[in-house]
Amino acid sequence: GAVVSQHPSRVICKSGTSVKIECRSLDFQATTMFWYRQFPKQSLMLMATSNEGSKATYEQGVEKDKFLINHASLTLSTLTVTSAHPEDSSFYICSARDRLPDGYTFGSGTRLTVV
């Protein structure tokens, strides 16, 4: 089946630094990648939709300059959390439409802790 590889699975960074999260589709071309954020004991909230070769579309309330999304190829989308603060600590997970008519493949998620 379709696989999306997400790295890193866990990262701890200092306040003020930037962190890059990668999602790579291994056996299919992901034209569109969705990025979600999940706080503890809460649901997945859509942050942005990225399309290969174009600018990402951000959901209302999501800071474009803080959460930089790049989808430079059909197999790779990245989310960079810039100038991270403790309130950015969260679980970030990507999802791509795969080959199946209603297939959504998720990465394994990244747990970000900003100290």
Residues contributing to the site for other proteins (CB under 8 A): 31-32, 34, 38, 42-46, 49, 51, 91, 93, 95, 97, 101-102, 104, 106, 108-109, 111
Which residue has tokens 């962190």? 19
Minimum CB distance to other proteins, residue 43 (Å): 5
Burial of 42: CB neighbours in 10 Å, binned 0-12, 13-18, 19+: exposed
Q: Letter for the amino acid at 62?
A: V
Helix (H) or strand (E) holding 65: none
Minimum CB distance to other proteins, residue 23 (Å): 13
Minimum CB distance to other proteins, residue 113 (Å): 13
Which residue's CB is nearer to other proteins, number 64 or number 83?
Answer: 64
Give the Cα-Cα-Cα angle 27, 30, 36 (nearest 5 degrees). Answer: 115
Which residue's CB is nearer to other proteins, number 7 or number 111?
Answer: 111
